[in-house]
Amino acid sequence: MLKSALLVALAMIAFAANSILARAALTGTAIDPVTFTAIRIASGALVLVVIVHLRGSRAMGRGSWTLAGALFGYAILFALAYRSLTAATGALLLFGTVQVTMVVWGLVRGEALRARQWTGFVLAVAGLVWLLLPGLAAPPPDAGAMMIGAGLCWGVYSMRAKGTGDPARATAANFVRATLPALILAFAFISEANLDAAGVWLALASGALASGGGYVVWYAALRQITAHTAAVAQLGVPVLVAIAGVLLLAEPLNVRLAVSGLVILIGIALVTVPSARPRMDSKT
């Protein structure tokens, strides 16, 4: 129990670190989003390949170009959006969209929602819409749209990657495949590339530690917890990002973000947290 809790905590910290590292790199250093993404994916692929081989696997998973494309789409849109979004706003839009995407995916495939889950779904969507409505505290619409796109890509990746065998091996293969479009894009825009030592180190940390290492820890945790527990655990990521953004990046926490975030998290919790069932005590 303690081991699984520790693994979940480490994975959530790694996921939250991705937002903090990206925001710090793209607003505090010279590195551009395309170069950041290429370094992040390539370093993540390298770490995952090494880990797969250290585990004694004879070969990586096959992966697929569809999943690699979704992974690359998530990574590049994530980086482009974080030029203009605060860490907390970006994380909230990302994880809110991922959860909504997964719910819609389930509905399309015939999964039924109970009344409580429908209420949560509507709340989550309403919170996202309210966060994006025009106003002084609203995020830039183009950046918000890109982060929603990143969430859609990651939601599709998450659903399509289920049932692909060993998730660590499959993720390593998909990272390797996603490196190709990331490098092609980086070379296409090489004349506009900017980078410095700090930006490169932050991109490497995002790819090697927060992405590559984080996903391996997460998959290890998933073997020991239920799907509902995993879904609820992810609700803590935007909270961690908001706290870290205020403490480490001196970012503001406005009322709209706080209230809409609470509405989104409550909505997602209503969808993902299983209903309490009355216990039946049997007597003999």
d(CA 237, CA 13): 7
What pLDDT, on a 0 to 100 scale, did the predictor assign at position 275?
62
Confidence at 143, pLDDT banded by 50, 70, 90 = very high
Q: Give 207-257 pLDDT, tens digit per residue.
A: 999 999 888 888 888 777 766 666 667 777 888 898 899 899 998 888 888
For the whole prediction, is pTM greater than 0.75? Answer: yes
Residues 9-25 pLDDT 10s: 898 899 999 999 999 99
The 8-class DSSP code of residue 181 comes to: H
Give pLDDT tens digits for 98-118. 888 878 887 787 877 788 888
Amino acid 252: pLDDT: 84
Give the pLDDT confidence score for residue 37 in this predicted structure: 97
C-alpha span between 282 and 259 (Å, rounded): 45
As a whole number, the mean pLDDT across the chain is 85
- Other C-beta atoms closer than 10 Å to the C-beta of 44 total 29
- Cα separation, 148 vs 205, whole angstroms: 24
The C-alpha angle with vertex 8 and arms to 201 and 102, in degrees rounded to 5, equals: 90
Does the pLDDT value for residue 279 go beyond 60? no
